[in-house]
Structure 1
C-alpha cells in the first residue's frame, strides 16, 4: 500500500501563525451544520462584508478564534451583491461583537494583516481546514504584480515564498492598523496561481466601496466618517 500523504503543516493560512487576538469582527460563513466555507468581516451589527463568489451562507459565526465554537451565531436574512467580487450579508439578528471600521483608503505600501480559517497546505483539497484562526502579516503592492487585476476596485497583496491566503480564506479580511484600531481594507478574492503562497493574491478593495456600503447599512455602520 502507498504511504499516506504527510499531514499539513501546523501553521496556517499558508505560512501563517495562530491568531494573536480575538478579532471580534472576523466571521465564518457556514451551512446549518457549522461547516466553514468562507470568511467575512462584521462591519455593523447586522452586516457582514464578504466575497460575492462565496454565495449565500445559512449562518455566520463571529467573535471567536475557533469556527466551530464560541462567539455568537446568526442566521443570514439576505445578501446584497455589489459590482465586483464583494457582497453584503444581512444578519437576521444583530451581533454584539465589535465591528471593524472600513478604512478610507489602502495605498500601495500599506502594511496589512490577512486573517482566516483557510487551508494550511497549498493545493486545493490537500488537507482539512484548521479549527483555529490564522493570520499573516504582509503588504499591499503595485497592481502590476497581479495579473488580471481591476485596479480601481481591487488590491494586489504580497504573497509567495510559501506564504499567502488559501482555499477557505475567501471573503475574509485584509486589515490595516493594529490591535484596538484595525480597519478593513480588503476582502480575499482570488489567487494568481493554482497553488497558494507562490505569488501575490487579489483582494477586493473594500475601501473603494466604502461610500456605497455606508449608504446600504445606514447609521449602524462602524466605518469612520
Structure 2
C-alpha cells in the first residue's frame, strides 16, 4: 500500500492556497483519503491535505466499549477511511467530505483499525448529505455533515450504544476525540488501535489564524493533541454535569502537519440538529 501526492494551486486570491491530495491504493481500487488538513502560516498561505482519521499526540484505548457509539467506516476491501457516531439503531453521523458509498461498511465494537474479529459489521443502505454541504475558498467544508443509514438495524449492547445530540454549542468544554488514523503526519505513521485525546472547545472567534475557517456550522478545539489523517467524520464527545455524553462535533479538518496544540476544526452538530432529527426519525 502506498500513498501518492498531487499538488495543485487554488485560484482564490486571499489567502494563497496550496492543495495536496493524497490517494490510498489498495486491492484493485484507488480512493481519495477523506478529510481536510489545513495549515495557515504567518504568510497566510494554506496547505490542505485531503485525508482521513487519526490522532496526533493521543493515547491508545485498551477498554473495549469505552466509546460504544464510535464507528469505523471502511471500504469494501477493509480500508478504514473515516469515523462516525451512532445516533440510533440504524443511523450514523459522519462528515460530508467522507463521501460514503453504498459499497462501504460500518464496523462497530472494535479497537483495531484492521480486521473484523469480534466486531459487528453493517452495510450501507442509504446516504444523506446535508443540503448546504460545500467546499470553501480554503478547501475546507461548510456544513460538513453526512448521515449514513445502515442496511440492517443494530442491537444495543455494552459495546454498541448511541450517543445524544447536543442542544447547543458550549465553548470551554473539555471533550474527548477518538479515532483511527495517523499518529504522525510526516512520515506517515498509522495507529493499529483506537487512539483518544482530550481537547477543549474554543469560542468561534478565538481560533487564531484559523478563525476565517470557522462559520455558523463549525467550531475549533485545541489541546495537547490534534486530529490527523484518518480522524475525519469521527465524533468530538463532551459530557454534561450528569456525565451524559453528546456528539458536540464531527471532525472536519486539522493542520497539515497535525501539529500538537494547533486548532482542529469540527462540524457544529447543534447547528444541524433539526436536519438530523428530520432524517433519522423517518
Q: Normalized against structure 2, the TM-score is what?
A: 0.67
CA distance in 2, matches of 1:113, 1:15: 13
Alignment length, in residue pairs? 203
Which residue number in structure 1 is paired with residue 249 of structure 2? 186
CA deviation map 1:55-82 (0-9, x unaligned)? 1141110122223233210000111000
Which residue number in structure 2 is paired with residue 151 of structure 1? 215
Matched, 1:29 2:90: no
Which residue number in structure 2 is paired with residue 222 of structure 1? none
Deviation, structure 1 residue 52? 0.5
| 8 Å Cα contact 2:253-2:266 kept in structure 1 | yes
Matched, 1:64 2:110: yes
RMSD: 2.0
Q: Give the 5 Å matches for 1:51-90.
A: 51-57=95-101, 58-67=104-113, 68-69=115-116, 70-82=118-130, 83=132, 84-90=143-149
- The DSSP-based 3-state class of the residue aligned with 2:248 is strand
Q: Normalized against structure 1, the TM-score is what?
A: 0.83
Which residue number in structure 2 is paired with residue 138 of structure 1? 199
| 8 Å Cα contact 1:24-1:64 kept in structure 2 | no
CA distance in 2, matches of 1:100, 1:52: 19
Structure 2 alignment gaps of length 5 or more: 1-53, 133-142
* Deviates further, 195-204 or 60-69: 60-69
Q: Which has the higher strand share?
A: 2
